[in-house]
Structure 1
Amino acid sequence: MISALIVGVLLIVKSIILPPSNFPKSIPTIPFYVSFLGAYTSMDQEEIYNYYMREKLEKYGAAKLYFASRWNIVIIEPELLLQLFKNENIYAKSGNQEKIPYSVLAQYTGENIISAHGEKWRLYRRVVASSVQFPNMEPIVENSKRFLDVLHQELINNSPIEIIDLLQRYTLANIGDSVLGVKFNTMEEKDTEIHKRIKHVKRQIFQPLYMNFPFLDKLPIASRMEARKEVAQFRSYFSNILKTCQNFGRETGASRLRQALDNNTLTEKEFTDNGIILMVAGHENPLLLLLSLFYIVAKYPEVQHKIRQENGDNEAPYLNSVICECLRMLPPLGQIINRRTTENVILGSNIRIPKGTYVGYNNFGTGRHRKIWGESADEFKPERWGKTPQEISRKYLEAKIKANLPAFHGRKRACLGEKFALEEVRVLIQTLLQMYQLSLDPNWVEKITPAGPICPLGLKIKFKKIEF
Structure 2
Amino acid sequence: MLYELVKSVTALVVGFAIYSILEVVFPPFNFPRNIPTIPFYVSFISSWTNLDQKDIYNKYLREKLEKYGAVKIYFASRWNILVTRPEYLVEVFKNEDIYAKSGNHLKIPGSVLATYTGDNVISAHGTLWKLYREVVSSSIQFPDLSTIHQNTSKFLDLLEQELVGTSSIVVNDLLQRYSLVNVGDSILGVDFEALDSKESTMHQKIKYIKSQIFRPFFMNFPYVEKYPIPSRIKAKREVEGFRNWFGQTLLSKYNPERENSAATKLVQALHNDKLTQKQFFDNAIIIMVAGHENPLLLMLSLLYVLAKHQDIQDLVRAETDPQQPYLSSVIYETLRLFPPLGQIINRCTTKSTWLGNIHIPKGVYVGYNNMATGRDRSVWGAGADRFQPSRWGTTLGEVNSNYSASKRSSKLPAFHGRKRACLGEKFALNESKWFITAVLEKYKVRLDEDWKEKITPAGPISPLGMKLKFEKV
TM-score range, shorter chain: over 0.9
Which stretch shifts more, 433-442 or 180-189?
180-189
CA contact (8 A) 1:158 1:463 kept: no
Question: Is the aligned partner of 1:257 residue 2:257?
Answer: no
- Corresponding residue number in structure 1 for 2:5: none
Question: Is the aligned partner of 1:105 residue 2:107?
Answer: no
Tell me by how many angstroms 1:368 deviates: 0.2
Tell me by how many angstroms 1:188 deviates: 2.4
> What is the percent sequence identity of the aligned residues?
56
- Corresponding residue number in structure 2 for 1:442: 449
- Corresponding residue number in structure 2 for 1:465: 472
CA contact (8 A) 1:111 1:274 kept: yes
Alignment partners' CA distance in 2, 1:228 and 1:63: 33
Tell me by how many angstroms 1:250 deviates: 2.3
Equivalent of residue 342 in structure 1, options 345, 350, 353? 350
- Corresponding residue number in structure 2 for 1:9: 17
Question: Is the aligned partner of 1:70 residue 2:66?
Answer: no
CA contact (8 A) 1:181 1:248 kept: no
CA offsets 1:276-325 (integer angstroms, 9 cap, x no match): 000000000000001100101111111121111114x3210110000000
Question: Is the aligned partner of 1:177 residue 2:175?
Answer: no
CA contact (8 A) 1:176 1:182 kept: yes
Equivalent of residue 351 in structure 1, options 345, 358, 362? 358
Question: Is the aligned partner of 1:316 residue 2:324?
Answer: yes
Mapping 1:311-390, distance limit 5 Å: 311=320, 313-348=321-356, 350-390=357-397
Mapping 1:58-207, distance limit 5 Å: 58-207=66-215
- Corresponding residue number in structure 2 for 1:56: 64
Alignment partners' CA distance in 1, 2:78 and 2:346: 12
Question: Is the aligned partner of 1:293 residue 2:293?
Answer: no
Which amino acid counterpart does residue 126 of structure 1 have in structure 2? E
CA contact (8 A) 1:332 1:453 kept: yes
Equivalent of residue 417 in structure 2, options 398, 410, 414? 410
CA contact (8 A) 1:162 1:458 kept: yes
CA offsets 1:43-75 (integer angstroms, 9 cap, x no match): 000000100011001100000000000000001
Which amino acid counterpart does residue 305 of structure 2 have in structure 1? I
Alignment partners' CA distance in 1, 2:249 and 2:371: 36
Which amino acid counterpart does residue 255 of structure 1 have in structure 2? T
CA offsets 1:157-197 (integer angstroms, 9 cap, x no match): 33411111011001101100000000111122222101100
Which amino acid counterpart does residue 237 of structure 2 have in structure 1? K
Alignment partners' CA distance in 1, 2:147 and 2:319: 22
Alignment partners' CA distance in 1, 2:49 and 2:362: 35
Alignment partners' CA distance in 1, 2:400 and 2:176: 28
The SS at the match of 1:271 is helix
Alignment partners' CA distance in 2, 1:238 and 1:158: 36
Alignment partners' CA distance in 2, 1:299 and 1:146: 26
- Corresponding residue number in structure 1 for 2:433: 426
Which stretch shifts more, 155-164 or 63-72?
155-164
Question: Is the aligned partner of 1:272 residue 2:281?
Answer: yes
The SS at the match of 2:66 is helix
CA offsets 1:254-282 (integer angstroms, 9 cap, x no match): 00000000000000000000000000000
Alignment partners' CA distance in 2, 1:253 and 1:190: 26
Name the TM-score, length of structure 2 as normaliser. 0.97
Which amino acid counterpart does residue 402 of structure 1 have in structure 2? S
- Corresponding residue number in structure 1 for 2:402: 395
Alignment partners' CA distance in 2, 1:122 and 1:39: 38
CA offsets 1:213-250 (integer angstroms, 9 cap, x no match): 10121222221111011101100100001111141732
- Corresponding residue number in structure 1 for 2:41: 33
Mapping 1:215-254, distance limit 5 Å: 215-247=223-255, 249-251=257-259, 252-254=261-263
Alignment partners' CA distance in 2, 1:270 and 1:249: 23
Alignment partners' CA distance in 1, 2:456 and 2:151: 27
The SS at the match of 2:144 is coil
Which amino acid counterpart does residue 36 of structure 1 have in structure 2? F
Structure 1: where are the runs of 5+ without partners?
Answer: none
CA contact (8 A) 2:254 2:263 kept: no
Alignment partners' CA distance in 1, 2:48 and 2:227: 22
Tell me by how many angstroms 1:156 deviates: 3.0
The SS at the match of 2:124 is coil
Alignment partners' CA distance in 2, 1:286 and 1:393: 19
The SS at the match of 2:79 is strand
CA contact (8 A) 2:167 2:471 kept: no
The SS at the match of 1:138 is coil
CA offsets 1:68-107 (integer angstroms, 9 cap, x no match): 0000000110000000000000000000000001100000
Alignment partners' CA distance in 1, 2:228 and 2:170: 36
Which amino acid counterpart does residue 268 of structure 1 have in structure 2? Q
Alignment partners' CA distance in 2, 1:144 and 1:338: 34
Alignment partners' CA distance in 2, 1:187 and 1:306: 30
CA contact (8 A) 1:73 1:360 kept: yes
Q: C-alpha root-mean-square deviation of aligned residues, in Å? A: 0.8
CA contact (8 A) 2:256 2:264 kept: no
Name the TM-score, length of structure 1 as normaliser. 0.98
Q: 1:55 to 1:121 in 2, by over 3 A?
A: same
CA contact (8 A) 2:38 2:61 kept: yes
The SS at the match of 1:455 is coil
Deviation >3 Å, runs of 4+: none
